Amino acid sequence: MIVVLDASVVLKWLLEDPAREPDTEKALAVIESVVRGGLEILQPVHWLAEVAAISIPYKNSLSTLSLGSLV
């Protein structure tokens, strides 16, 4: 199955903070399914710009390594 992810799902992967981000467990289950080969991700060309824009308020919670691993 192919899915298109909202930028908020990707942000939940980076933050991994269920107390701060609702549905983090569901977002992590999606990435686990991708790793196992159960899902394929199709992203529009602007997805990285969306994630970067959303992540600005969280800049102290996100490491440069985390953001760099998305590219």
Tokens of residue 54, six digits:
């959303």
Q: What is the pLDDT of residues 37-51, one digit of tens each?
A: 999 998 888 888 888
DSSP-assigned beta bridge partners for residue 40: 2
In the chain, where the domains are located: 2-68
Residue bearing tokens 């959303």: 54
- DSSP H helices, 1-71, are 7-15, 24-36, 47-55, 64-68
pTM of the predicted model, to two decimals? 0.66
33 vs 46, more confident: 33
* Euclidean distance between CA atoms 61 and 15, whole angstroms: 7
